[in-house]
Structure 1
């Protein structure tokens, strides 16, 4: 079938695959370096406890068969190795069926991680990576030209990501309709980046222009993805520029990067298409059958996207094959932070020697300038942002975090920037307090060198010692 393939997109496929392999590598590296404290055997939300309560059919994962920290580490580092192999082009030297199986490996491994990751893996970009990774299995390698239907599915996914995000903004918060959300967002976003302070202090008319441009990119430009070239390429390029702007303004894990990866698949790069054999019949049958399934599974995400009760970041099947997406349907006007402190005093008092724990990415020390971590994902720091919004977001894990800090648990301390206590002398009490944070002004920055100012709001967790953690939390 001559219509089945699009030879002009062979370079687009190559660029897309390399970029996706790089995102996979970051995702598996994040899992390998953080899992012990979060979901390990002694983690805050242990996998064995989860798999004992949730059946395999609801959350398919190889860890339903068996779990140990050693096995998880093996899977995570194996995912890193396969990602590196894909980056190096191993799939291009394999037969077509071998390349498809190779691309299936990181998808299956990461699905196993996400489906037992619980709240630590509840972010929309987890499902987005899985849905994109599954489509990559069908793209083939140098033995065949890229299938038209898979290229269309990639654009369809990009459309849902952008258009769904645009709709949730217009429906979710009036500041998006008034073009005022960026008066607050750069200050209150989950994890500011090194340039976020400067973005916040841009003139307000420029903030209005940013929001208006965002609406155009998310609500109008996605339709142009389905137009003939070069219009589709121009639409994808505009999306890439917008995502790079977001990369500069904050730390959003690999959300922006995986969106850029999807947009690259719609760009037709100027290059001579190599001649090659026609796609084998079995490959055409597999691609068309799976594509028909994915089109059918699109019904519920589309119904959600068009609903006035639209929800963000929902998976409608346990394999995360077709999902619904969205980001920042509402924007916080005020930034709150939970500050955790410990003391070695036997009897904790207000004037005790309370020492503050420092996190890697979330604001703490007023003089510590935010760093760029994305696309690497600091999961604990992100969840601490949600914990500041409401204790309900932290109910399942915050008590376990406090307990591990009281124990000076090595795996947990590795997630932090700094512990104020030596390894052999853990604190006797931990408390948490809620502060309101705001960016300093230009004058305050010059006078104090601090990029943040903070004001005490209330007690978040009263002084707690190890024997009390079960009762306090």
Structure 2
């Protein structure tokens, strides 16, 4: 059974499992803190309405058995506890079957959340976590050697993630081909970080070099993952370093960190850490189960592989409701101008020319021109991300935004906890409105003169002043915190 395991992949498996447990922990904490306000019984897009119109076979989830905000809390906190235990190494100190059951539980619980998460969970890194989480079930624990075939499936996942992203760029926005996309991207990305302005102000020749390095890393380097060591380790290290560069330049939830732990699983650590503990392939049932799963994943890989080479390549798409094998890709097009929606409120009984409006502050997205963009990743601020999308589309494309305004007028505490600053802590406003601004980073001279990191220009009134009585009942429903 020597063909089944590989000693040189022992440490890579351990690094991957600990890293995945940490990302699961963050993901479940995001659900604990945000799910109720966004998707709860009285959320902006309630799960019960989704369950009433979407059949189970399209979105398998434990919430088809029962949904309540309390049950969601039980699911999310269970995920937090199990992922914390696995992060601490508990999976290596229990029987093999129990370790697999713990990983399977995490996968099932998080899939259940993602499948009812609607637009709030419609990001590539959600499917990426689910797919990697499924493979983790069959990696075993310290009682068995690392299954070679499953470790290679991790490489196949990383290859699709990187190569798919590279292809979507070359087929998409022309600026990727003429090497100018990073003239804009650091400034217009969904959630800039504390260093994004400095990246944006780099000389343009460096931006072009960044794009060239990105193309090399995503279109050439991934093939090295399938070559013998030490070439595979070198390829994985290049991907890892590139992902750390992306971590420094912006906030992309746990997308970059998932790529990092996948790359880390490829590296041969034995020259640094010494020989791994000797372990056999495990019981026959484990070998048979792993073999069956490998065949299943290879069969399901046909459509994602075909998609890679399709002229009409899809980005961040699942071909099965369990999200076992998916397609990935990001920023096939790059926004050239940044627009932001700024929400304001007033207690005036009837707004007029002299009305003083006060601005709501969001935790992550740009608002106050003086504020340094925060580093939030791998944590994910779902409302802030959706506000970025809303600013690029007509209001009718984002009906949840009107519901958000209604919740602010109703002093909805779970929704208000999603914000950084509520200018009306004692009583809600009588009117709210939404303005559309164009934002750009200030240059060095403007920063010295004004102290601002952003320069913003009013574009239009996105939503005119609206009062609670103007809202339909479902948009203004109030609930106590």
TM bucket by the smaller chain?
over 0.9
Distance in 2, Cα, partners of 1:351 & 1:305: 57
Deviation at 1:308, TM superposition (A): 1.1
Q: Deviations over 1:288-311 (max 9, x none)?
A: 111111111111111222111112
Map of 1:288 onto structure 2: 291
Give 3-state SS (helix, strand or coil) of 2:103's partner.
Answer: helix
Map of 1:339 onto structure 2: 342
Equivalences for 1:230-249 in 2 at 5 Å?
230-249=230-249
Map of 2:82 onto structure 1: 82
Deviation at 1:471, TM superposition (A): 9.7
Runs of 4+ aligned structure 1 residues displaced above 6 Å come to: none
Map of 2:438 onto structure 1: 436
Preserved contact between residue 240 and residue 263 of structure 1 (Cα < 8 Å): yes
Preserved contact between residue 431 and residue 462 of structure 1 (Cα < 8 Å): yes
Distance in 1, Cα, partners of 2:438 & 2:283: 62
Distance in 1, Cα, partners of 2:336 & 2:103: 43
Of residues 309, 325, 329, the one that matches 2:332 is 329
Map of 1:264 onto structure 2: 264
Equivalences for 1:302-451 in 2 at 5 Å?
302-391=305-394, 394-423=397-426, 425-451=427-453
Preserved contact between residue 40 and residue 46 of structure 2 (Cα < 8 Å): yes
Equivalences for 1:114-153 in 2 at 5 Å?
114-153=114-153
Identify the range of structure 1 (229-238 vs 46-55) with the bigger mean alpha-carbon deviation: 46-55
Distance in 2, Cα, partners of 1:119 & 1:350: 37
Deviation at 1:7, TM superposition (A): 1.6
| Number of aligned positions between the proteins | 472
Identify the range of structure 1 (262-271 vs 226-235) with the bigger mean alpha-carbon deviation: 262-271
Map of 1:299 onto structure 2: 302
Preserved contact between residue 312 and residue 325 of structure 1 (Cα < 8 Å): yes
Distance in 2, Cα, partners of 1:32 & 1:472: 23
Distance in 1, Cα, partners of 2:229 & 2:279: 23
Preserved contact between residue 145 and residue 279 of structure 1 (Cα < 8 Å): yes
**Given the alignment of the two structures, is residue 460 of structure 1 paired with residue 462 of structure 2, yes or no?**
yes
Preserved contact between residue 464 and residue 472 of structure 1 (Cα < 8 Å): no
Preserved contact between residue 386 and residue 394 of structure 1 (Cα < 8 Å): no
Q: Deviations over 1:295-352 (max 9, x none)?
A: 1111111122211111210111111100000011100110000111111111122431
Distance in 2, Cα, partners of 1:64 & 1:127: 20
Preserved contact between residue 387 and residue 393 of structure 1 (Cα < 8 Å): no
Map of 2:479 onto structure 1: none
Give 3-state SS (helix, strand or coil) of 1:3's partner.
Answer: coil
Distance in 2, Cα, partners of 1:350 & 1:329: 43
Segments of 5+ residues of structure 1 without an aligned counterpart are none
Q: TM-score, normalised by structure 2?
A: 0.96
Preserved contact between residue 24 and residue 80 of structure 1 (Cα < 8 Å): yes
Preserved contact between residue 399 and residue 470 of structure 1 (Cα < 8 Å): no
Identify the range of structure 1 (458-467 vs 151-160) with the bigger mean alpha-carbon deviation: 458-467
Do the aligned partners of residues 126 and 105 (structure 1) sit closer, same or farther apart at CA in structure 2, a change above 3 Å counting?
same
Distance in 2, Cα, partners of 1:336 & 1:264: 37
Do the aligned partners of residues 396 and 319 (structure 1) sit closer, same or farther apart at CA in structure 2, a change above 3 Å counting?
farther
Distance in 2, Cα, partners of 1:426 & 1:319: 42
Preserved contact between residue 187 and residue 200 of structure 1 (Cα < 8 Å): yes
Deviation at 1:464, TM superposition (A): 0.9
Give 3-state SS (helix, strand or coil) of 1:4's partner.
Answer: coil
Preserved contact between residue 395 and residue 462 of structure 2 (Cα < 8 Å): no
Give 3-state SS (helix, strand or coil) of 1:265's partner.
Answer: helix
Give 3-state SS (helix, strand or coil) of 1:459's partner.
Answer: strand
Give 3-state SS (helix, strand or coil) of 1:191's partner.
Answer: coil
Map of 2:478 onto structure 1: none
The CA RMSD over aligned residues, in Å, is: 1.3
Q: Deviations over 1:48-80 (max 9, x none)?
A: 111111111110111111011111011111101
Distance in 1, Cα, partners of 2:66 & 2:311: 42
Map of 1:163 onto structure 2: 163
Deviation at 1:469, TM superposition (A): 2.1
Deviation at 1:89, TM superposition (A): 1.1
Segments of 5+ residues of structure 2 without an aligned counterpart are 476-481
Distance in 1, Cα, partners of 2:382 & 2:14: 30
Q: TM-score, normalised by structure 1?
A: 0.98
Preserved contact between residue 224 and residue 232 of structure 1 (Cα < 8 Å): yes
Give 3-state SS (helix, strand or coil) of 1:198's partner.
Answer: helix
Deviation at 1:395, TM superposition (A): 2.0
Distance in 1, Cα, partners of 2:37 & 2:384: 13
